[in-house]
Structures are given as C-alpha cells and as structure tokens.
Structure 1
C-alpha cells in the first residue's frame, strides 16, 4: 500500500500505532493519603528563566531580562510563601538554568524540595533526533546531580513536548515518573506500545498552568491575558473538586509569571485554601509517586 501523508487515508495500523505508542495504563489512586489526609497537593514550578528565549536561538535582551526577573524577584517571592506556610514543592530546572544559577538550584534541595529534569535548554523534544534527545536528557540529569548534589528521579519535558522516544528514554534512565502528560487527574502507569514501562505519570493540565493565562508575545497578534481573580477561580475549583474526590491536585507555575506583586497572592491563597481544610498533604511530585506506588 502506498504511504500517504493524508491522515484520512492512513490504514488502521498507522493511526492505531500512533495512538498506542504511549498510553495511560492502570490508574493509581490510593484509598488513603499519609496521616489520614483526604487530598494530596503537588505544587510545582518550572524554573525556565532565560531558556525560553535561548531555546529557539533567540538573543533578545528584553526577553532574557524577563527570565532574569524569575531569579531576582520571582523565586524570592515564591520561596517566601513556601517558607511561611512550611510546604514542599517540586522545581523543574533546565540544565542551562542550573548552570546560570547554581546557588538557586542548590537551595531548592537544601530546603527539602525536589529538583526534576526539565531539558537542557528548554528544547522541544519533538523536533530532535532520538539520539540527540537521549543525550540531552542524560546530560541534564548528570548536570542537575552535579550542581544540586542529588540525582533527579523525575522529569517534566520542556513545554510538555513529548516525542515518540521520550518515554523510552525515561524508562531506560530508570526515572520513576514523568509529569508532562494529561491522560487523567490521578497518577497512572505509562504504557509503551502496550507494555507497562514501570514509569508513573503524575499528570499536568494546561488549565492548571499559570503561563497560558498570562503569557504574551509583543510580536504576535495574540494577547492572552486573564485577570488574576479569574485564574484563582479556575485553580480553586480544580482544588475543591480534587478534595471532594479524595484525589490529587497538581499545579504548575513559573517564577517569571506568578512571581509578580499583583499575582503572587494567587499561589498564597491556594495554599491557604488547602491548609484551611486541615487534612491535605503537601508533598513533592516524587513523594506522591512513591506513595501511590506503594499504596495502590
């Protein structure tokens, strides 16, 4: 049969193969969380800083200054909330960012938080040759371990971009989890061509990501801006539903997005809302994955 680039002309084996390459397996929702908590809260920050500009070969001083803001103002504001409320978080750090700001990366681990893989320079996995993606992912893990003193056990791909090779590489590296896919609201096993990889997915979702509401590109006609109160309402409703279901609430934020004086309250009010319940477990993504593996 002649190969066609038209999807409507694909034979079943082609479209089914694409769908089945990476699939959600068994859901991992424990019957109980630690210390009788009703809900687990997984707070995370993608510490992209200047790599949002660098990854495309850009050299805009203006764009990189916004990334620098993430280090100079965003992270201190985020850490102030975290420290005052005594909660844990996961930080996903591109290897280039870790080299630019080694003290920042070491600080995350020293204060009991998790540092996870987030690419080398926030590259897009889906445009990379498989051997290049593998090399970058392995070198990223090595660099984070060298700088932070602790080997990462999980990955969040840059921009949640997931190639045909990503899961295979993650499995081969012995990582315990990924947090880049959106197949559920609770953790689940990841299948590669129908076979359980042993890698657990702690799912993300764009509606629980601050960047989609606030980012802009001055050279684009698109100006996606949402009032902070509306963003908080989405996050709040997601948390309330997770709490009612006794499940997992996962949140993705960025220091250069949420770390502004008019927005940091969103993060703090979500933390307050969760803590006021009295039976919520704040944990790193790695801790949550280890718990669900052992208790489902």
Structure 2
C-alpha cells in the first residue's frame, strides 16, 4: 500500500533478507527484567516521569514568536510548581527529563527537582531531532546536556530519554560511551528490558514508554494545522487507570510520561490527582524514580535467579 512517509527509500520492498534483518537487529529488546517481587514486597512498580520541555520545542524549530514561547513558559511558570506540590502531597518521587536549554532558562526549577528528592535526567540539549544529526553533533549535544545538568545541580544524571523518542544509528553507541545506566525512549515491552545491539547484550536497561501513557497525544494542538484533539481529561485518566490496573494484576510496571506545559493546566491536573488517588488506594505499590527502577532491573540482569518467568504473575487479591 502507498505510504505518506517520503523519507523511506522508494525501493525498500526490494531489500534482500540480510538488509531488512540488519535494520531490525540493530537495536532490539533482550531479556525482560522483572523480579519475583518489587522492593518492599510490592506487587507493582509505578514510575512517573515529566518531560520539562518548556520553550525548547519552538526554539528547536526556530520559532521565536512570543506566543509560541509563552506556551512553553507556562510549563515552568505554572505547571511545574503545581506538579511539585502535588507530588509532595502524595509523597511520590518522580523523574524529570529536562532539555539543558530548559534547565539553563529555569535553573531554580532544575535544582528544585533534585532538592525535593526527585531525579533529573537528560532529555537532549534543545529537544533536537537526533534522527537528523550526524554522530559528532549528536554526541556533542548529549555531552553538553549532561555537563549542564551536572553543573546546575551538582548531581550527574544517570538516565536519558531522547528528545523525539527515537534512535539514530549513533544514539546507542553514544549512550554506552557516556556511561548512562538506562534509557527511556523505546517501546518494545511494558516492562524493563536489556537493550540488545546486533544480537549482543549491552547491559543498558530500557524503561519503555508508549504514546498511550503520554499526555501530549491527547491534549496538544497546532493552531495552524489539523492537530486538534478534544480529549476530556477524565477520559484520559480512565485509560491510564486501566493501564495501572493491568500492571497491578500482572505485577509489572506502570510508567507514565507527562509534560508540565500540558498536564499542568488546572482541569488536567485534576485528572492526575484522581489517578494518584486510585493508585494509592491499592496495597503494595512501589513508587520509584526511573533510576531506582533501573537499579532493580539491573539486579535481575546480574542475578537471573531473581527474574520472574514471563508466565508467572502474582495471584490476584
């Protein structure tokens, strides 16, 4: 069937088997890293994350109008403080993936994340599209981002989420070279897994994401384009509630990706509060940063006896 993605080679359907296999095998999901039980005897792990993109989305695309920049500024000015207050109310840790330019524009916000016991992780330099970069440029921007966050907070980030949730041909090698403990950009599973490259295990833990568990597809809009969703916040909360309930039954991970400039609006924050009410009404829930979750997953990687068989899920209570 025809495709609208004109970036694809016109003759990709002619590729011989070694060619298409080489693309598939470049970055692959390896062992699922789920323990028999989560820390503290919990039956489910909950990992909340916030991508504090703020003004970097328009800046990345060279859009400098005050209107577009103000949409991003809302995330720092109104969204982030509300989110921090909500997390404090429930005593819940989270991971904030922050482009370095966002952190340099809002240094006190970046410091507030770590000061309040949350994790700050790398999310590119200016939310660049890494798929369009050469290896040297991608590496330079990643190093600059890592150094900027380290300088601002005094803590070196251990995790990374690529700005566009994608890998170039160089991304994995750069992550391994710079010593990241985990990535959170890929979508091959519901549960943490080890990334495999060219059939070989890398030791890098993946904490998978998915657009289902991301606020942006439900709420963002383009004033001049056709992207105009009309999702009711409570309808989205229902989707996320179902995702959590399934993770709880399976004894797995419920991971959520949110954005301060998206979820931080008043009506949407109500939905997040109601979701947290639902989650905290359950027994045996372990709230973890992505770094803490990756540490537990790595324990399974190092000691396979801790691993839960794929078919072995906790009994329903």
TM-score category by the smaller chain? over 0.9
Name the structure 2 match of 1:132: 137
13, 33, 52: which one aligns with 1:28: 33
Q: Counterpart of 1:289? A: 294
**1:236 matched to 2:235:** no
Mapping for residues 257-268 of structure 1, pairs under 5 Å:
257-268=262-273
Give the alignment partner of residue 16 of structure 1, picking from 18, 21, 34: 21
Runs (4 or more) in structure 1 with deviation over 3 Å come to none
Residues 49 and 68 of structure 1 are in contact (CA less than 8 Å); yes or no, is this contact kept in structure 2? Answer: yes
User: Counterparts of 1:234 and 1:162 in 2: how far apart (Å)?
Assistant: 27
What does 1:1-296 align with in structure 2 at a 5 Å threshold?
5-295=10-300, 296=307
Deviation at 1:7, TM superposition (A): 0.9
Secondary structure of 2:266's partner?
A: coil
TM-score, length basis structure 1: 0.97
Counterpart CA distance in 1 for 2:244 and 2:215 is: 15
8 Å Cα contact 1:180-1:203 kept in structure 2 = yes
- Residue aligned with 1:152, SS: coil
* Distance in 2 between residues matched to 1:23 and 1:82, nearest whole Å: 34
Q: Structure 1 residue 222: deviation in Å?
A: 2.4
Q: Describe the superposition over 1:186-206 as per-residue Cα deviations: whole angstroms up to 9, x where unpaired.
A: 000001111111110000000
Normalised TM-score (structure 2):
0.91
What's the Cα RMSD here?
A: 1.0
Deviations 1:151-197 (A, max 9, x none): 00010111212211111110111111000000000000001111111
Deviation by residue 1:4-37 (Cα, 9 ceiling, x = unmatched): 7411111111111111110000100111111111
Partner of 2:314: none
CA distance in 2, matches of 1:221, 1:40: 37
What runs of 5+ residues in structure 1 fail to find an aligned partner? Answer: none
The 10-residue stretch of structure 1 (16-25 or 223-232) with the greater mean CA deviation from structure 2: 223-232
